[in-house]
Amino acid sequence: MLELSDVHTYYGDSHILRGISMTVEEGEIVGLLGRNGAGKTTTLRSITGIQPPREGTVHFEGADITGTDITDISTAGIKLVPEDRRPFSGLTVEENLQLSVDHTYGDDWTLDRVFSEFPVLEERTEQLAGQLSGGEQQMLVIAQALLGNPKIILLDEPMEGLAPQIIEQIADIIQFISEEGIPILLVEQQLTTCLRLMDRGYLLHKGEIQMSGSTEEFRSSEDTVQKYLSVSV
């Protein structure tokens, strides 16, 4: 469904991604692991057109979308849930959700269904998004992505800064989304949670893939993976 081939991405003269190749297939949760600065967010920005690759290609459903306009990529069914969440803080929860409704690729996800699956959001409909807790904001932006009736969701560190109990709730939501048939590219530093959720994974370090394989292969190489996730590497 999604394929990156030998992607090189730069910020000015800084060479961030150095030949990234990876895939996400139908029905998968694919983990992208790495510590801060490894290039994980840049990978998502390369896919979504925010920071287009200088070399290499990005294909979605067989079509080359390299360098395509950000809006067109989103309209094609790729929905990004960014690391810093970014709901419209001055709008209410309901107003944020209304802005995200898109039935271009189906109508499985409606406001009624979002409120059914995320009852806390229904309780907060009139509350300003900026007044929500971190966990509630994360639920809101995931719900916004679902209201776009996506073909694939890119999640950028959805567990960051959340309490353990909330992390479990978000992990359950991610699993539920996958069971609904929506493939997910999950960027994470939390190895334990990522191993619980992902079907396959990639380990990124200094802009290069250091390891790829199944969850079982990552579990059997956990010491190596932890080494690359530590600050000292």
**pLDDT by residue (tens digit) across 196-222?**
999 999 999 999 999 999 999 999 998
Phi and psi, residue 15, nearest 5°: -90, 105
Q: Coil, strand, or helix at residue 77?
A: coil
Q: How far apart are CA 126 and CA 93, in angstroms?
A: 6
Q: How confident is the model at residue 233, as a pLDDT?
A: 43
| Cα separation, 139 vs 143, whole angstroms | 6
Q: What is the dihedral of CA 149, 152, 153, 154, to 10 degrees?
A: -150
SS3 133: coil
The pairs formed by 172-176 with CB atoms below 8 angstroms and a separation of 24 or more are 173/139, 173/142, 174/29, 175/29, 176/117
**What pTM was computed for the model?**
0.92
- Angle at which helix 93-100 crosses helix 134-147, to 10 degrees, equals 30
Neighbours of 69 (CB within 10 A): 11
> What is the rounded CA–CA span in Å between residue 97 and residue 8?
35
Q: What is the pLDDT of residues 70-83, one digit of tens each?
A: 999 998 999 999 88
What domains appear along the chain, each with residue ranges and CATH number? 1-77+152-233 (3.40.50.300), 86-150 (no CATH)
* Tens digits of residue pLDDT in 22-54: 999 999 999 999 998 899 999 999 999 999 999
Q: Of 44, 32, 55, nearest to 211 (Cα)?
A: 32
Contact 42, 49 (CB under 8 A): no
The string of DSSP letters for 145-212 reads HHHT--SEEEEE-TTTT--HHHHHHHHHHHHHHHHTT--EEEEES-HHHHHHH-SEEEEEETTEEEEE
pLDDT at 169 over 50: yes
Cα(130)–Cα(103) distance, integer angstroms:
27
